[in-house]
């Protein structure tokens, strides 16, 4: 495979394009309500009317408006786009009928709605447009050009320089600068190196990574291959949880296709570069997203974290230097190489560049996946794009960062969404879960929910997290049931402090965050549930009246 | 190997390059509480009792897995650390069923000693009172899950000193438990060589010799270290 061959595939694919295209979302959300039957019916309908010469029926990835699914998009020959929502299999004739101006009462979405209009799509540019199971589609959309460019025109150090210049930070949660991480792995001594893609995505309510894998698997593979070239690795692992069967099967297809075309394997683009990728299926333990636990799991061991240092960049899989990045991080790579670091850095803020994909859910009118430039005010996301809370209710708070994150009260809706601003409010960007809560939400209950999650998902290795989350959950339940006193609240706060500061891995270190942030902004809700203490309030500022001095 | 100089609790000490803070402190006669640490097997940093403060690093670090660095300024005994250690111990006592008065390890238990030495005189957390069983199917040994602190010492001793790989951890969070082979009764675990190394390694009354009285429960952990030293350094003298 050479550049000419790649371009030939793209040309052929474009030449075969038909005037009108019917796109059915074939991602997990829409598939769960019969998108495959809809697609089949559309296809049959087009054929029955002899329209196959001018109308293409295409299976595509997630369009993002999952809450209104199943979705069918229409690209007209005059450049108009239409969107049909809540489509049912029996709607197929009406939709095909409408192509020629026939009547059709299927609910239409508004492609100009802020939900779509305010998005900037880099990672999800192909989502809902190309067929995720067709490598030709991806190539026609410019796929694998960046990999070619890197292999034939750039030295590994130049690739790392470009990624560093782009300002890209890890999208897996902590926001570590990607270029810096790549540089460390590249500089680590060792013949054998690995690249790992973290597709574990265990945060409740999050489905960003799943959707990228389902909608555009080659984008992730291309990013991994570029990373492997930059750091000097020849083997990659894609770690995906078993709950994502569709993502896994599309990745399998993508890997096979890329191998067949010589875009993975040995001698890629007729250069000496070798890169193979294997899929590793995780059993769906949240902690296996933690990088050291993930690596233990890839090695076939019990997925528990180990102390760092040594960091994976130095000693990772089987003791070799290992680069581990999130799905969305890898999905940003090809666009950055293709369009340049400066172009990428022109989106976002000073310290948070580019875009971020969020899974907007909860008490919100429009829920689904959105990709927005960093720094966009939270208000624009929840009020304009999300359409606010349903039934005219008031938004009370927005939870970001999942079980490691916190609740941002509505008073702070003008906060720009970037790493630093969210951290300042006691929450985090996290991997991109965004749960909107309205004024009926009980914040103690929210804290209890996340603590229960952490308690169940704790790996059990270290004591503060294993036993501390159990006690914290117990105290939260006691408070929620109006059985607690101020003493219990103080005990809870002490435990938060201890578990945060002494736990071994990020799970335990961040498990108290939802409690701490709700306590910070909604303390009264906790206090209103407390019983008077028959022994009186604990004395003058002593945090722990009963504990024995040494 | 180059020596490193550092300060622990205000005391200037030197340590071998590559040594852990725990090793350096122990050598200098400074005691740091540990529970999951066991001489002879690698450290996992799980119990968090050995955490220390290092000047300039906001995070607390486990002394057993953190290597010394030139010029480190370490505190092992601040008010904050003492408080955290007491809380960790309280959490352990509340987690399972520790009734020392009727335990085979009473008087010979590292958990009990740690509680004494760290001033943990009562538990403020609600006891979980879980229903854990006792496995007495093995001819020589027994396992009382009610006393287990999940330090993983038995697992590491079994895999890395004996090489049998009988013991392992199953489940997660508070439901984690030590299992033998594929979660079968210990007496039916084919891989067990009945060497007793796990029993030697256990800090609590969770693993015991059947039929021993409380007075006989003293453990000889030097044996484990002896085997490892002998194997690795070909040095057949008992550690003093
Ligand atoms: C408990 C826990 C769970 C995590 N889960 C994930 C996950 O599901 N996906 C992910 O990409 N990163 C997850 N992370 C973060 C990873 O450990 C790691 O930092 C990340 O994959 C690095 O990639 P990045 O630099 O591209 O963000 C998790 C971290 C912790 C502590
Ligand atoms: S913090 Fe929790 S998840 Fe992490 S090692 Fe400790 S017990 Fe396991
Ligand atoms: S194991 Fe130790 S702390 Fe637990 S009951 Fe026995 S003696 Fe007491
Ligand atoms: S049985 Fe003993 S050695 Fe094994 S994990 Fe439990 S307390 Fe530790
Ligand atoms: S799953 Fe169909 S639009 Fe997201
Ligand atoms: S001895 Fe260091 S964590 Fe247990």
Per-residue pLDDT of A516-535, as tens digits, reads: 999 999 999 999 999 987 76
**Count of residues making up chain B:** 240
Query: Cβ atoms within 10 A of the Cβ of A300, count?
Result: 8
- Write down the pTM of the prediction: 0.94
Chain A residues in contact with B52 by the CB 8 A cut-off are none
- The proportion of chain A whose per-residue pLDDT surpasses 90, expressed as a percent, equals 92
ipTM: 0.93
Q: What is the pLDDT of residues A174-207, one digit of tens each?
A: 899 999 999 999 999 988 999 999 999 988 889 9
Q: Which of B60, B94, B125, B204 to mutate to test the interface with A (most CBs of A within 10 A)?
A: B125
**CB-closest option in A285, A460, A501 to B150:** A460
Residue of A23, A24, A29 best suited for mutating to test ligand 5, as the one with most atoms within 8 Å of CB: A29
A contact test, residue of B22, B91, B169 with most A CBs within 10 A: B91
Instruction: Provide the sign of the torsion angle of the four alpha carbons A458, A461, A463, A464, taken in this order.
Output: negative
A233-287 tens-digit pLDDT = 999 999 999 999 999 999 999 999 999 999 999 999 999 999 999 999 999 899 9
Contact A460 B66 (CB under 8 A): no
Are the beta carbons of B53 and B78 closer than 8 angstroms? yes
- Nearby residues of A31 by Cβ (< 8 Å), 6 or more positions away: A25, A246
Residues of A with CB under 8 A from a CB of B: 285, 287, 302, 306-307, 455-464, 466-471, 474, 491, 494-495, 498, 501-504, 544, 546-550
Contacts of B131 (CB under 8 A, 6+ apart): none
* DSSP 8-state code for residue A74: E
Question: Quick one: average pLDDT of A307-331?
Answer: 97
**A27 touches ligand 5 (CB under 6 Å):** yes
Nearest CB among B120, B150, B172 relative to A285 is that of B172
Residues of chain B contacting A473 with CB distance shorter than 8 Å: none
Mean predicted confidence (pLDDT) in B9-28 = 96
CA distances for B88 relative to A52, A503, B47, angstroms = 69, 10, 8
Residues of B within 8 A of A550 (CB-CB) are 82, 118-119
Considering only CA atoms, which of A218, A165, A226, A174 is closest in space to residue A354?
Answer: A165
Phi, psi at A188, each rounded to 5°: -65, 130
Calculate how close chain B gets to A307, using CA atoms only, in Å: 7
Query: Region A17-28: what's the mean pLDDT?
Result: 94
Each residue's pLDDT tens digit, A77-110: 998 999 999 999 999 999 999 998 888 999 999 8
Give per-residue pLDDT as tens, A372-420: 999 999 999 999 999 999 999 999 999 999 999 999 999 999 999 999 9
**What residues contact residue A374 under an 8 Å CB cut-off, 6+ apart?**
A347, A348, A349, A352, A353, A354, A355, A356, A416, A417, A418
């Amino acid at each position: 495979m050479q550049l000419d061959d790649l371009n030939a595939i793209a040309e052929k694919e474009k030449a075969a394009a038909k005037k009108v295209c019917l796109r059915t979302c074939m991602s997990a959300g829409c598939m769960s309500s019969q998108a495959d039957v809809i697609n089949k019916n559309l296809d049959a309908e087009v054929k029955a009317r002899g329209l196959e010469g001018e109308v293409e029926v295409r299976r595509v990835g997630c369009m993002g408006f999952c809450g209104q699914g199943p979705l069918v998009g229409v690209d007209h020959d005059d450049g108009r786009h239409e969107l049909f929502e809540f489509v049912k299999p029996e709607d197929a004739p009406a939709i095909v009928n409408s192509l020629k101006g026939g009547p059709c009462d299927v609910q239409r979405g508004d492609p100009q709605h802020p939900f779509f209009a305010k998005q900037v799509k880099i990672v999800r540019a192909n989502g809902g447009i190309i067929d995720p199971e067709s490598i030709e589609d991806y190539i026609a959309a410019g796929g694998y050009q960046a990999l070619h460019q890197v292999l034939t025109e750039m030295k590994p150090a130049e690739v790392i320089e470009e990624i560093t210049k782009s300002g890209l930070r890890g999208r897996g949660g902590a926001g570590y600068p990607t270029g810096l991480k790549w540089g460390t792995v590249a500089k680590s001594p060792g013949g054998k190196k690995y690249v790992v893609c973290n597709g574990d995505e265990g945060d409740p309510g999050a489905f960003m990574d799943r959707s990228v894998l389902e909608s555009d698997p080659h984008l992730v593979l291309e990013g991994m291959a570029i990373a492997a070239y930059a750091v000097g690795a020849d083997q990659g692992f894609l770690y995906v949880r078993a709950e994502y069967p569709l993502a896994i099967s599309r990745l399998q297809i993508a890997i096979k296709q890329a191998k067949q075309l010589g875009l993975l394997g040995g001698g890629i683009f007729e250069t000496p570069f070798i890169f193979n990728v294997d899929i590793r299926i995780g059993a769906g333990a949240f902690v296996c997203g933690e990088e050291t636990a993930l690596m233990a799991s890839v090695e076939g061991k019990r997925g528990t974290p180990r102390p760092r240092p040594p960091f994976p960049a130095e000693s990772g899989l089987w003791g070799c230097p290992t680069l581990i990045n999130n799905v969305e991080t890898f999905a940003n790579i090809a666009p950055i190489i293709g369009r340049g670091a400066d172009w990428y850095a022109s989106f976002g803020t000073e310290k948070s560049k580019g875009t971020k994909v969020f899974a907007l859910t909860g008490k919100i009118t429009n829920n689904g996946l959105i990709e927005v430039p960093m720094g966009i005010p939270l208000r624009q996301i929840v009020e304009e794009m999300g359409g606010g809370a349903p039934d005219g209710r008031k938004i009370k708070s927005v939870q970001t960062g999942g079980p490691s994150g916190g609740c941002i009260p509505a008073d702070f809706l003008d906060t720009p969404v970037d790493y630093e601003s969210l951290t300042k409010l006691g929450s985090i960007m996290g991997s991109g879960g965004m749960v909107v809560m309205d004024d009926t939400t009980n914040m103690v209950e929210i804290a209890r929910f996340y603590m229960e999650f952490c308690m169940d998902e704790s790996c059990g290795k270290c004591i503060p997290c294993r036993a501390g989350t159990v006690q914290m959950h117990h105290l939260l339940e006691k408070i929620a049931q109006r059985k607690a006193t101020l003493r219990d609240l103080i005990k809870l706060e002490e435990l938060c402090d201890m578990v945060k500061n002494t736990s071994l891995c990020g799970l335990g270190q961040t498990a108290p965050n939802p409690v701490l942030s709700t306590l910070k902004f909604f303390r009264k809700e906790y206090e209103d549930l407390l019983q008077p203490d028959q022994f009186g309030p604990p004395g003058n500022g002593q945090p722990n009246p009963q504990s024995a001095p040494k | 190997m180059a020596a490193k100089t550092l300060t622990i609790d205000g005391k200037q000490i030197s340590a071998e390059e590559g040594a852990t803070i725990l090793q350096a402190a122990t050598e200098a006669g400074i005691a740091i509480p540990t529970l999951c640490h066991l001489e002879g097997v690698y450290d996992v940093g799980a119990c968090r009792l050995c955490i220390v403060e290092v000047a300039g690093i906001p995070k607390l670090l486990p002394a057993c897995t953190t290597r010394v660095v030139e010029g480190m300024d370490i505190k092992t005994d601040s008010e904050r650390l003492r408080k955290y250690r007491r809380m960790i111990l309280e959490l352990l006592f509340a987690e399972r069923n520790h009734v020392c008065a009727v335990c085979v390890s009473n008087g010979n238990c590292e958990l009990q000693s740690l509680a004494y030495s760290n001033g943990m005189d009562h538990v403020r957390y609600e006891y979980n009172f879980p229903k854990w069983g006792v496995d007495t199917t093995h001819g020589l040994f027994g396992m009382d899950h009610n006393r287990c602190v999940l330090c993983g010492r038995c697992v590491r001793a079994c895999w890395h000193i004996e090489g049998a790989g009988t013991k392992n951890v199953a489940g997660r969070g508070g439901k984690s438990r030590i299992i033998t082979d594929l979660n079968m009764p210990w007496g039916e675990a084919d891989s067990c060589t009945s060497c007793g190394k796990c029993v030697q390694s256990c800090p609590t009354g969770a693993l015991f010799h059947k039929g021993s009285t409380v007075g006989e429960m003293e453990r000889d952990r030097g044996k484990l270290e002896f085997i490892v030293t002998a194997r690795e350094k070909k040095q057949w003298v008992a550690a003093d």
